Chains A and B, each alone.
Chain A
Amino acid sequence: MTDMTTPPSAPPRTSTHIKITAETVDFWYGDNHALRDVTLSMGKGKVTALIGPSGCGKSTFLRCLNRMNETIPGTRMTGTVRLDDRDIYNGFGDVSQLRTRVGMVFQKSNPFPKSIFDNVAYGLRVNGIKDRQIITHAVEDTLKKAFLWDEVKDKLSHSAYMLSGGQQQRLCIARALAVRPEVLLMDEPASALDPISTTKIEDLIAELKGSYTIIIVTHNMQQAGRVSDKTAFFYEGKMVEAGETTQIFTNPQEKRTEDYITGRFG
């Protein structure tokens, strides 16, 4: 699967092992230049971790990948983001179509004030699936995929708010999986959870890897080391260094990366 095997007739960027590429992405919140010339590719079926100190732009970058930043007024972006070689900002079609392919899990678990069942079914319903049987089947299937089924199967009609924090976050993951995305963006998904819940989330990421392309923002260096294949280090809006996670952690090329991962700042 190296570039050598790519047929010469294929477009230059076509590559079977890259799912998302960002090229020269710049981003502004009003006058605040939050991302500067970020170029990064994220492997298909792999886990890519985005690390860096608070305010370095890693979450902003993540939110560029499903056009979530567009919902914030006064923001502006330049550059290109491609999903399977299709530019998601130009001529992609409806943004909701993109978001069913690129799912997202947020830092704070944010289940809807609805039942557990309706939370998982929401994405299917808003995308036009009405058949009760199909939805019921899909909800069960998805909850099993998120390893939540055994814990909630007897209380599907209960409010999602009755679940513990960790369960709520796994419900949010299940909710995102229900619309069968190809990519899962995770914005510090375990930062508000206790160690046991965090372990469960990490185990889940390990299970989902392969079937899904996962991009995870994390403050927790150990977590990045445990779950990711590739790591990108962000600092002051720039992508300083990216590479195999083991290489970044054992042999960083940049001084700032080394300083950050050894805990000298951040």
Chain B
Amino acid sequence: MGNGTTVLATEQINQVLNNIGDRKKSQGIIPKSLTLLSVLLIAAILAVILGNIFLGGIGVISWEFISQSPAHGLEEGGIFPAIFGTVALVFLMVIAVVPIGVLTAIYLHEYTRPDSMITRAIRISINNLAGVPSIVFGLFGLGFFISFVGGFLDSVFVIADDRPYWGQPAIIWASLTLALLTLPVVIVSTEEALRAIPRELREASYALGATKLQTILRIIIPQALPGILTGGILAVSRGAGEVAPILFTGAAYYLPYLPTQLNHQFMELGYHVYILATQAPDIDKTKPILYGTVLTLLVLTFLLNFTAIFIRSRMRSRRVAD
């Protein structure tokens, strides 16, 4: 009788085991389809956005559009000053943010102990900086750079007439404001790159009699360069699309000239989009130009990104392979 029970139990177990494969298979379908669905949703949203912009904007894009100034109450002409202004703005921003961000990261990672009070204080500040809304940066830029720094410069270097020279919205102040906004990005990605450098490489350098500075300059920075570049890329992507920080600090509605000096105002693509969408005399008539401007902004940002990514991957492969 005992034997019979055993046989029965074995059969039951076999039956369950035989079927469990099918059951598990059917259970697996639910999470897979759920996750797939959300992926498709995101892909669809992206496709709609990009498709809409592309279809609406492609007809407007022409050599005239990207090489001429706006005309007739923004209803005609091109957006060249805005493209120029955007590139100049981002360029100045990178010049300001990369050295400061990299030096800060090097200080944090190489010259302080990770658990010291000062390191923690700086790190908390950086995290908070990253969380500040961008309009606050704009107001800060207005108050600090234009009124305080610019006003101070004007009071020291008095220029013949009473008009402010530095104490007014200008491309230098806008790019510095953007640099502040993107500083955390550069610091964090540089620090990550520094952290990824194996301890053995530093020790090998020290063991050959190299000083700390020599080790940083000859081993650590070259090794961290792709990471630093990544920080630059992220800063550019972030900075090129921001409008709020430049609203009060230098962006202009319309300018008959290009910014050729640091204290000039400038036109910018993101701001131009805002102007075309809300401030133009006849918004319906500016719609095609609006589409074209958005498309240009997207392409420009992608282009900047791809250039940087291309340089970075070249650098990586050269270091590893050759």
A and B are partners in one complex rather than unrelated chains: yes
Most buried by A among B198, B200, B222: B200
Report the bound CA distance from A142 to B198 in whole Å: 26
Q: Given known contacts A126-B211, A159-B321, is B206 in contact with A71 (CB within 8 Å)?
A: yes
Q: When the two chains form their complex, are residues B210 and A71 in contact, meaning their CB atoms are under 8 A apart?
A: no
Contact of B209 among A71, A73, A106, A127 (CB under 8 A): A127
Smallest CB-CB separation from B198: which chain A residue?
A: A110
Q: What 0/1 readout, one digit per residue, does chain A (92-107) give for beta carbons within 8 Å of chain B?
A: 0000110110011010
Report the bound CA distance from A22 to B321 in whole Å: 44
Q: Given known contacts A96-B210, A110-B200, is B205 in contact with A122 (CB within 8 Å)?
A: yes
Which residues on the B side are within 8 Å of A68 (C-beta)? 203, 206-207
B interface bracket (residues with beta carbon within 8 Å of A): 20 to 34
Contact of A103 among B203, B208, B214 (CB under 8 A): B208
Which residues 45-104 in A have Cβ within 8 Å of B in the complex? 66, 68, 71, 73-74, 96-97, 99-100, 103-104
Report the bound CA distance from A158 to B202 in whole Å: 21
Q: Check: A43 CB closer than 8 A to any chain B CB.
A: no
Report the bound CA distance from A255 to B126 in whole Å: 58
A interface bracket (residues with beta carbon within 8 Å of B): 20 to 34
Most buried by B among A112, A125, A127, A175: A112
Q: When the two chains form their complex, are residues A176 and B207 in contact, meaning their CB atoms are under 8 A apart?
A: yes
Q: Check: B195 CB closer than 8 A to any chain A CB.
A: no
Most buried by B among A68, A103, A108, A122: A122
Residues of B within 8 A of A (CB): 113, 198, 200-211, 214, 218-219, 222-223, 319-322
- Pick 14 A–B contacts, CB within 8 A, sort by A: A71-B203, A74-B113, A97-B209, A103-B208, A104-B207, A111-B204, A112-B205, A113-B201, A123-B209, A158-B322, A159-B320, A159-B321, A176-B208, A178-B208
Residues of A within 8 A of B (CB): 66, 68, 71, 73-74, 96-97, 99-100, 103-104, 106, 108, 110-113, 122-123, 125-127, 158-159, 161, 172, 175-176, 178-179
